[in-house]
């Protein structure tokens, strides 16, 4: 857990990553709040906050008395949201750094091409 | 949100020293609270007041609905493990564990036994012969196994090494998850416990400095790093908590940046780095000197 | 608040009645029976046996009568030991009980009950041993350990009353004195002992001035042993109240 953003966000993000990567498919049960809290060594209230956020954004749904499950279409929705942020979160910093190092756009495309061939 | 403890304008003076100065706050039922502050800030005195062990000079305290002073019905729900707890002469560890259940209705012998194993505590040794770490372990075990609805830990784990401390945090979290209760943890090892805490109360020189959720507090400050000129330009007219520089680089900790302001900083080529709870509290409660712009007016 | 799979917040525990709380406090005092029971009994036995051995040696050396003025270690030792227990109770058990959420009132009531219990127990034991000692004519050697001869023939009940009142007196004397310390710490002790010295000197001066020495001697002889013991009970009761008042405002400072 890094100090960066609120911990509940980090918990939510970790679950989101697992959904995107496919290790938590549609309908899969998410670990209980207590299990999450114990694993991350955080207060259960914080874990609850993260999970509640995912329920609110439609990534998870709650089944009373049983637990939390990955909602249908969650993966697609998350991918779409991430794609929207991709430009701001990855492209912009990449361009900034390239500019700082004096790499022009042509050289940048070159590098990307080379890397893709690997 | 219901409250277990309500404090209003509480003051405690000892022969000219004001240990607790016009303090008001509430404790949320079933939450883990951190009572953070430097040594001598008033943490222990405050907890002694809340548990009826000290008498207030003025102000009001309500624990579970009534004053805790000489109130057996309220105090039965309270467990207060002090850092410097005294034990009866010639008591052995086993006597402490044998007598605790007579006073704490929720005592769990199973939990106590497993904790004794975790901390490797010699049951047959006299308490006065225990090492510092073992003495702390006794306090920790009683505090945890009591499962009292309102449990205070006053830096009881200071004598414990890092491994034992993390065992304590783990056991606390796990048992708290199964049996939620109101917990107040006082410490100056802030970063170690910051993930355990739901609410944070910072006390400095007898006054409450901060009273909020841990997440909210962490968001109240950011460190901006970059070239001198750019950083100073950005920091102008903002509340500065700390300032450092080396070579041409300056690092300034600023209070309360909005998201737009953060983007502005990054756009200006400045780097933003988070401020941990410990750094935040150290900045806010540290000594006042020329290099920090920490003045009384900055204190909330 | 919490939903999902977290348990309900621990609610408050049901309050217990005063008798139960006092009983818990008494149990706490007896949790380590070594200090209040086994140790004093062991030491008492040891002292007695040691003395017995010495008496035997002296008796066999010829002068059977020389044993007559052997010490009264029995009562003396137990009484002092109990006073020490009372002091330790106020010093160490008090802050510990506070940590367990015991009120000062319950602590004091439980401790007083504990003192009374011990006093009754030891008084009974000493009385029985005293009766046996007299019946065996000083353990067959004219020795006196549990039943000093100068006290005369007061019977089993008499011994019980004597030991009981003495023990109660020293218990509450110890508790009150320690109470001064617990309440006002070192400064309190200086003031206390200073005042005590002044009070004693003042009393002596007063007695000399009013020439009431004889009146006092008369009072004591009129009261007799049992009168004086009963007066000591009054003093013990007063001391117990003093101790209570002291502890009500005491704090378990480290």
| DSSP states along chain B | --EEEEEEEEEEEETTEEEEEEEEEEEETT-EEEEE--TTSSHHHHHHHHTTSS--SEEEEEETTB--TT-HHHHTTEEEE-TT----TT-BHHHHHHHGGGT-TT--HHHHHHHHHHTT--TTSBGGGS-HHHHHHHHHHHHHHT--SEEEEESTTTTS-HHHHHHHHHHHHHHHHHS--EEEEEES-HHHHTTT-SEEEEEETTEEEEEEEHHHHHTTEEEEEEEHHHHHHHHTTS-EEEEEEETTEEEEEEE---HHHHHHHHHTT-EEEE--HHHHHHHHHS---TTS---GGG--
Q: Strand, helix or coil at C251?
A: coil
Q: Which residues of C touch A44 (CB under 8 A)?
A: 2, 6
- The Cα–Cα gap between A70 and B127 comes to 52
As a whole number of angstroms, the distance between CA C98 and CA B91 comes to 16
Does the beta-carbon distance from A48 to C5 stay under 8 Å?
A: no
CA distance B110 to chain A (A): 20
Question: What residues of chain A have any CB closer than 8 angstroms to a CB in chain B?
Answer: 1-8, 33-34, 37-38, 40-46
Report the b/e string of B7-25 with b at 16+ CB within 10 A: beebbbeeeeeebbbebeb
pLDDT higher than threshold 50 for residue B297 = no
Whether pLDDT at C1 is above 50: no
C254 touches chain B (CB under 8 A): yes
Residues 6+ apart with CB under 8 A from B153: B81, B139, B140, B143, B183, B184, B185, B186
Q: What is the pLDDT of residue B41?
A: 86
Q: Residue C6 and residue A62: Cβ atoms within 8 Å?
A: no
Q: What percent of chain A has pLDDT over 90?
A: 45
Closest-CA residue to A8 (of A36, A46, A57): A46
| pLDDT attached to residue C2 | 43
Q: pLDDT at position C7, please?
A: 54
DSSP H/E element including A30: strand A29-30
Report the pLDDT averaged over residues C119-130.
92
Which tens digit of pLDDT belongs to each residue from B36-52?
A: 988 888 999 999 999 99
Give the ipTM.
0.85
Best mutation site among B33, B52, B83, B102 for testing chain C: the one with the most C CBs within 10 Å?
B102
For residue B235, give the nearest of B255, B217, B218, B249 by alpha carbon: B255
| pTM attached to this predicted model | 0.84
The answer to whether B180 contacts C2, with C-beta atoms less than 8 Å apart, is yes
Asked if the Cβ–Cβ distance from B170 to A45 is below 8 Å, we say no
pLDDT of residue C62: 66
Contact A38 B219 (CB under 8 A): no
Chain B contact set for C13 (CB, 8 A)? 76-77, 105-106, 148-149
Whether C19 shows a pLDDT value over 70: the answer reads yes
| Boundaries of every domain in chain A | 7-74, 86-117
B259, exposed or middle or buried, with CB in 10 Å at 0-12, 13-18, 19+?
A: exposed
- Answer whether B77's CB lies under 8 Å from B150's CB: yes
Percent of residues, chain B, with pLDDT higher than 90: 55
* Tens of pLDDT, residues C59-68: 777 655 555 5
| C5, pLDDT greater than 80 | no
- Whole-angstrom CA distances from B48 to B136, B149, B247 are 18, 17, 48
Which chain C residues are closer than 8 Å to A67 by Cβ? 4-5
Residue C114 is inside which H or E element, if any? helix C104-135
Predicted pLDDT at C47? 86
**Could you read off the pLDDT of B77-129 as tens digits, one per residue?**
999 978 778 899 899 999 999 999 999 999 999 999 999 999 999 999 999 99
Tokens of residue B144, six digits: 């945890």
Average pLDDT for chain B = 87
Interface of B with A in 32-91 (CB under 8 A): 32
The stretch A64-81 carries a mean pLDDT of 90
Backbone angles phi, psi at A16, to 5 degrees: -60, -45
Four-way CATH pick for A7-74: 1.20.1430.10, 1.20.120.530, 3.90.1640.30, 1.10.10.10: 1.10.10.10
Q: Is the pLDDT of residue B300 over 60?
A: no
Taken in order of first residue, the domains within chain B and their CATH numbers are: 3-214 (3.40.50.300), 219-298 (3.30.70)
Residue C63 is predicted with a pLDDT of 58
CA atoms of B98 and A90, how far apart (whole Å)? 61
What residues of C are in contact with residue B78 (Cβ under 8 Å)?
101
């Amino acid at each position: 857990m890094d100090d960066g953003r609120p911990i509940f966000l980090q918990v939510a993000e970790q679950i989101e990553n697992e959904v995107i990567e496919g290790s938590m498919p549609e309908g899969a049960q998410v670990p209980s709040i207590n299990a999450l809290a114990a694993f991350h060594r955080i207060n259960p209230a914080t874990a609850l906050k993260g999970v509640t956020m995912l329920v609110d954004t439609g990534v998870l749904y709650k089944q009373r008395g049983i637990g939390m499950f990955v909602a249908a279409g969650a993966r697609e929705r998350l991918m779409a949201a991430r794609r929207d942020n991709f430009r701001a979160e990855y492209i912009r910093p990449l361009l900034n750094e390239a500019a700082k190092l004096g790499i022009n756009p042509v050289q940048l495309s070159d590098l990307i091409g080379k890397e893709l061939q690997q | 949100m219901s409250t277990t403890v309500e404090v209003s304008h509480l003051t405690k003076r000892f022969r000219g020293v004001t240990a607790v100065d016009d303090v008001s706050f509430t404790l949320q039922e079933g939450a883990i609270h951190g009572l953070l502050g430097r040594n001598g800030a008033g943490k222990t005195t405050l907890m002694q007041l809340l548990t009826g062990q000290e008498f207030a000079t003025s102000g009001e305290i309500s624990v579970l609905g009534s004053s805790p002073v000489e109130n057996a019905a309220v105090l039965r729900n309270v467990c207060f493990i002090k850092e410097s707890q005294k034990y009866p002469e010639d008591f052995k560890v086993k006597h402490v564990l044998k007598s605790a259940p007579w006073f704490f209705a929720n005592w769990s012998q199973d939990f106590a036994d497993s904790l004794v194993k975790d901390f490797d505590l010699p049951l047959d040794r006299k308490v006065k012969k225990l090492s510092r770490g073992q003495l702390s372990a006794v306090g920790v075990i009683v505090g945890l196994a009591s499962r009292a609805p309102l449990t205070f830990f006053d830096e009881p784990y200071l004598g414990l090494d890092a491994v034992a401390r993390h065992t304590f945090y783990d056991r606390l979290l796990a048992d708290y998850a199964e049996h939620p209760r109101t917990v107040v943890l006082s410490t100056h090892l802030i970063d170690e416990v910051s993930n355990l805490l739901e609410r944070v109360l910072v006390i400095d020189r007898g006054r409450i400095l901060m009273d909020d959720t841990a997440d909210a507090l962490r968001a109240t400050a950011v460190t901006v790093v970059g070239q001198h000129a750019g950083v100073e330009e950005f920091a102008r007219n903002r509340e500065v908590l700390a300032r450092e520089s080396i070579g041409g680089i300056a690092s300034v900790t600023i209070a309360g940046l909005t998201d737009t302001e953060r983007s502005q900083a990054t756009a200006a080529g400045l780097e933003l780095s988070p401020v941990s709870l410990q750094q935040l509290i150290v900045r806010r409660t540290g000594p006042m000197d020329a290099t920090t712009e920490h003045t009384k007016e900055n204190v909330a | 608040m919490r939903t999902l799979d977290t348990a309900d917040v621990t609610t408050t525990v049901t309050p217990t009645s005063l008798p139960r709380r006092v009983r818990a406090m008494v149990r706490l005092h007896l949790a380590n029976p070594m200090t209040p029971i086994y140790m004093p009994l062991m030491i008492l036995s040891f002292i007695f046996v040691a003395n017995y051995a010495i008496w035997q040696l002296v008796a066999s050396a010829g002068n059977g009568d020389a044993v007559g003025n052997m010490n009264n270690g029995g009562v003396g030792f137990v009484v002092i030991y109990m006073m020490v227990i009372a002091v330790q109770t106020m010093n160490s058990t008090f802050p510990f009980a506070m940590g367990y959420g015991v009120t000062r009132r319950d602590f004091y009531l439980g401790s007083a009950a504990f003192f009374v219990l011990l006093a009754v127990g030891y008084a009974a034991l000493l009385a029985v041993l005293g009766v046996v000692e007299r019946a065996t004519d000083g353990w067959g050697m004219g020795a006196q350990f549990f039943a000093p001869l100068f006290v005369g023939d007061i019977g089993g009940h008499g011994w019980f009353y004597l030991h009981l009142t003495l023990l109660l007196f020293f218990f509450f004397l110890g508790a009150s004195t320690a109470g001064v310390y617990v309440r006002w710490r070192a400064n309190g002790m200086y003031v206390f002992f200073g005042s005590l010295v002044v009070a004693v000197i003042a009393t002596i001066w007063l007695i000399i001035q009013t020439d009431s020495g004889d009146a006092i001697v008369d009072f004591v002889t009129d009261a007799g042993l049992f009168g004086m013991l009963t007066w000591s009970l009054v003093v013990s009761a007063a001391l117990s109240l003093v101790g209570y008042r002291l502890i009500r405002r005491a704090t378990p400072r480290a």
